[in-house]
Amino acid sequence: MSVTDHIEELRWHIIRSLLMVIVCSVVIFFNIEWIFDRIILGPAHVDFVSYQAMCSLARLVHVDGLCMKQINMQFQNTELSGQFMMSFSSSFIIGFIIASPYVFWEIWRFIKPALTSKEANAASGLVLWASILFFSGVLFAYFVVVPFTVNFFAAYQLSPSFENIITMSNYYDTLNDMILGMGLVFELPVVVYFLSRIGMLTPKLMREKRKYAIIVILVLAAVITPPDWLSIWLVAIPLTFLYEASIKISGRVLAKKVA
């Protein structure tokens, strides 16, 4: 197959992926009011499921500080077209998240012909695992990282003279950065798998560079979360576990190559 044929094939994979994202985005757009009230603004409401779980834990361990009584935040829109444009952007992002398994599948269909039959069989479950890891990162951010972050900043008060009036775009951007960031970062084992397959990574190298990896994880956690240590550690701990799991994955890839 010529380079032109490869480019043409890639173009159609991209087109099909975009069409699926657009279809999902349109469905979301026609339900955006419900999604905004129940999902996007969910962590800003005191009856959010994660806060209820925290209150149950607080009663169990007798630590009242874990239970969130109220969220001292009000939202405002500061741009004439702000709410309208946010409807479009949030519909597209949520549409992409929902369509991501299909997008991963299209990527796999483009890559598969370049692999040998043995390599293709070994990597056949990658679309499933990439989807599972991405959604795991999204759900972890939404139900754990975001609620703890909102809890921390809503409860923090420099002076009683101040009132938390948050712009909708600020809240939405924070939510978006954390959720998409965690979804992408949770793909680490998949990236390690491919790098190990082509010989760029080995379990020995990953163990030797573990301390540097932990520093990178902490920096990355600080970038995709607000600047408080609780949120940083909430992200850094599972990423460290993912790194350790990736070492095991790299080891299995190496063992199969030797065999």
Note the pLDDT tens digit of each residue in 90-140: 999 999 989 999 998 998 888 888 777 776 776 777 778 888 999 999 999
Domain that holds residue 130: 3-186
* Residue bearing tokens 């599948």: 105
**At which of 135, 170, 186 does a domain end?**
186
Q: Are residues 25 and 124 in the same domain?
A: yes
Q: Are residues 235 and 116 in the same domain?
A: no
Mean pLDDT check: name the lowest of 28-42, 70-84, 181-195, 219-233.
Answer: 219-233
Q: Are residues 53 and 181 in the same domain?
A: yes
| pLDDT reading at 165 higher than 90 | no
Is 47:130 a contact under the CB 8 Å cutoff?
no
Q: Are residues 162 and 237 in the same domain?
A: no
Q: Provide the strand spans (E) within 28-182.
A: 74-76, 165-167
Q: Are residues 145 and 31 in the same domain?
A: yes
Number of domains in the chain: 2
- Burial class of residue 25 (count of CB atoms within 10 Å of its CB; 0-12, 13-18, 19+): buried
Q: Are residues 152 and 225 in the same domain?
A: no
| pLDDT reading at 162 higher than 90 | no
Q: What is the mean pLDDT of the chain?
A: 85
Q: Are residues 191 and 172 in the same domain?
A: no
Q: How many residues does the chain have?
A: 259
Q: Are residues 230 and 105 in the same domain?
A: no
| pLDDT reading at 215 higher than 80 | yes
Q: Are residues 156 and 196 in the same domain?
A: no
Q: Are residues 191 and 213 in the same domain?
A: yes
In this structure, which amino acid lies at residue 248? K
